[in-house]
Chains A and B, each alone.
Chain A
Amino acid sequence: MNTFYSKWLGGKKGVIELAVLAAFIFIVLPLWLDIFRLNMVGKYLTYAFAAVGLVMVWGYGGILSLGQGVFFGIGGYCMAMFLKLEASDPVSTARQTTPGIPDFMDWNQVTSLPLFWEPFHSLIFTLIAVIVVPGVIAYVIGAAMFKRRVSGVYFSIITQAIAAILTILVVGQQGMTGGINGITDLKTLHGWNINSNSAKYILYYVNGALLLGVIVLCKYVLSSKFGRLLLAMRDKEDRVRFSGYDVANFKIFTFSLGAAISAIGGAMFTLQVGFMSPSLIGIVPSIEMVIFAAIGGRMSLVGAVYGTWLVNYGKTAFSESFPSLWLFLMGALFIGVVMLFPNGLAGLYNSYLKERLEKLVLKFKQSGLFKKLNPVKTELQNEQ
């Protein structure tokens, strides 16, 4: 119980953070917004997966990946392939030259389902693929890069190139991928209409729960010995290497973890928005994801969620009110945040709000309840 409390949830501070975030996602937003706006927030929160992944990879691992959209996209495409196959039953595609295959294949003179599509008839395979495929791809990329000690800006450039390559591949192979239109017109998940209002509520909550789950998992990873090594590596890589650790393996693991997390977001995006397209895997969305993490504070897992929400909320609100000026306002927002709070929203919290909260905590410490908890805490500190 104690390990769970301190390691998974990150102690008292962690519990409060998570509770506030959970209240925000599960109570405040649904009460505040109608289903249309809530579904939009659901979409933003899928980007938050990528931002949380980036906090791990970039904030703690010190690896700036400008290709997080690749993994978001692969996760999304895996899910979209399953949904598309379900929507392309022979009855509803009877109009096509070859009924029973997705419509865009028919338009591109493809007459039979490509082999790599076949397993996506199975939901279980799809769910596994959503996490495993991006994880494996990240592993391969990571192994190829980190084993050769490619790092820093070179790594960033390569990830960006991979994002560009994948976009070109998807757009070019349109008979198999839907090309620039993407995979559209997705209707049901195992017969369950994903476009109904009730489905949107359910998907929103599932999305929120998964997001919190991912954050808890990341907290656990960070509170373990591994998390400490990660920080040590980020700050003095050589020293860790000379201490006998294989730095590359740790980096590969972090990178794969970040990829798998982004991919979950991608799959949830497909379910909530109803399509997947190459515009979500390219360079621009990948960089946007870095912005989300930067605005939230790149060392803060929950900050990443707020950062994502704030940027996307701004995007929507500005573009609705000022259709021709909104990009300038977004620019002003980015510049403002970077100039005033270089550590993002989390930095804002740390430098302005934390002190006040700590005073409150101090008062709490003097009360009787704290003394009961205190021995446990010191014990833990000694352990570490």
Chain B
Amino acid sequence: MSSKKPMVPSTDSCASAGLSMRKVALAVAGTLLFAAAGSALAATPPTSQVNTTHLAVTDNEIIVGQLHSSTGTMAISETGSIEAERLAIDQINASGGVLGRKIKIIQEDGASDWPTFAEKAKKLLEENHVAAIFGCWTSASRKAVLPVLERDNGLLYYPTFYEGLEQSKNVIYTGQEATQQVFAGLDWVAKTKHAKTFYLIGSDYIWPRTTMKLARKYIETVLHGKVVGEEYAALGSTGFGSTINKIRLKKPDVIYAAVVGGSNVSWFKQLKAAGITGKNHTLLTLSVTEDEVKGIGGENLTGFYSAMKYFQSLDTPRNKEFVKQFKAKFGADAPIGDVTQAAYEGPWIWKAAVEKAGSFDTDKVVKAEETGSISIDAPEGMVYLESNHHLKTRLRIGEWRSDGQADIVYTSDYIMPNPFPKGY
């Protein structure tokens, strides 16, 4: 194994205060020796041992599936995830693979069509016997794939921030569920902007609806603020004139937005045309990452805020290394958004779990994941996989600049994932 691993699974071990330095040093040296011996011996355990469920594992190869839309309306969003997962898998292969086996990818195109997603997932699991699938983006595609995963006992790593209300045995959610994105962001905006009145606007489907439901309750009961308007625009709609008029009339302290896809471009352009900019209004959005900014144009967003767990501009050595590797592979113009980074985490978490389980079998890998002791050093910082299949992460608030990058103005503490919030 090379010493220059970009990401190392780590276990929480802290030396108790009572131990002397020497003892600690000895213990560390001992552990290292043991680990070295262990890894040398267990580098490539026999296939019969690591695979008892007829997965596509040979003595030197393991096959995984990749299932995103490379065609259709979602292709523009999912391309980043496809690239990030490839990068992670290439890096894992370069550092020796998983349990001594190189990862081979079978890529399928979900074509932005939910039945196709179900069909391809089934193909990957029943024909290719892949050990894991990295894929899906929209909730609709995940919901379509879910019954297939549960029937064939497959394993999906899902990268998108989403509405929660789900915890399948067969899915690891590397994006934030709704509570992780909503509460800390609202706290921040209430505190720093002294906001009391909120205007909620989202696209009309399950994720914005659920998110706004949480937000309204939190604003009313915890922040003792007031929601002065709540509105949903049809998916793909491009006319926000009446909404903008209502915003002008109600004069909310904060515009809280979850508008997605192509609507985003019209929404922000029309806001700017109506004179609502970062200079005179506070707008906090949950649905704009670097990928979207590329389409919207940074000049239309300047001074607005996004609540995400990751921004490309994050100033840490780990992230700089990641950004450099990503750009080297996919071009200097390729933006890295929140979901792209979350997609990059998928293969690494899978690797860590497989190595902990010492097996590729879904049940054993899931069991290892449910111990709650898997963590990885991701570009966003350390993330911890909790027993409820979601990641414990931080939330960051980014203020958009005209060049399409964000200044990170706030970083929260670690937030426990809670896909089924009580009382909401």
Contacts and interface: CB of A to CB of B under 8 A. Distances in A.
B411 interface: no
A279 B116 CA distance: 11
A184 B147 contact: yes
A107 B163 contact: yes
A375 interface: no
Interface in B102-155: 107-109, 111, 113-116, 118-120, 122-123, 126-127, 138-140, 143-144, 146-147, 151
A76 to B, nearest CB: 11
A326 B140 contact: no
Contact of A319 (B109, B115, B126, B234): B109
Interface residues of A, number: 36
Contact of A316 (B113, B119, B138, B139): B119
Contacts of B204: 171-172, 174, 179
Interface stretch (A24-32, A243-251, A270-278): A270-278
B201 to A, nearest CB: 15
B329 interface: no
Interface string A117-145: 00000000000000000000000000000
Contacts of A274: 118, 147
A185 B143 contact: yes
A320 interface: yes
A184 B143 contact: yes
A384 to B, nearest CB: 44
Contact of B209 (A43, A108, A277, A316): A108
B120 to A, nearest CB: 8
A131 B151 CA distance: 30
B213 A109 contact: yes
Interface string A176-190: 000111101111000
A335 interface: no
A323 B109 contact: yes
Interface string A291-321: 0000000000000000000000000100110
A95 B420 contact: yes
A168 interface: yes
Contacts of A108: 206, 209
Most buried by A among B108, B114, B420: B114
A185 B123 contact: no
Contacts of B113: 279
A312 to B, nearest CB: 10
B111 A181 contact: no
Main secondary structure of the interface of A (DSSP, over half): helix
A290 interface: no
A39 B234 CA distance: 34
Contact of B205 (A36, A109, A174, A185): A174
Contact of B235 (A109, A171, A184, A323): A171
Contact of A327 (B71, B116, B163, B235): B71
Interface string B284-318: 00000000000000000000000000000000000
Contacts of A168: 234
A277 B234 contact: no
Contact of A179 (B115, B123, B205): B205
Main secondary structure of the interface of B (DSSP, over half): helix
A327 B116 CA distance: 14
B210 interface: yes
B165 interface: yes
Contacts of A277: 114-115, 140, 144
B70 interface: yes
B146 A184 contact: yes
A229 B297 CA distance: 60
B206 A184 contact: no
Nearest to B139: A181
B150 to A, nearest CB: 9
A221 B109 CA distance: 41
A280 interface: yes
A21 interface: no
B71 A36 contact: no
Contact of A180 (B109, B116, B118, B140): B140
Most buried by A among B122, B143, B210: B143
B177 to A, nearest CB: 13
Contacts of A195: 147, 151
B205 A319 contact: no
B210 A107 contact: yes
B107 A275 contact: no
15 contacts: A36-B122, A39-B122, A40-B119, A40-B122, A172-B204, A174-B206, A180-B140, A180-B235, A274-B147, A275-B115, A275-B143, A277-B144, A279-B113, A323-B70, A326-B109
Interface of A: 36, 39-40, 43, 95, 103-104, 107-109, 168, 171-172, 174, 179-182, 184-187, 195, 273-275, 277, 279-280, 316, 319-320, 323-324, 326-327
The 3 closest A-B pairs by CB, nearest first: A184-B143, A323-B109, A36-B126
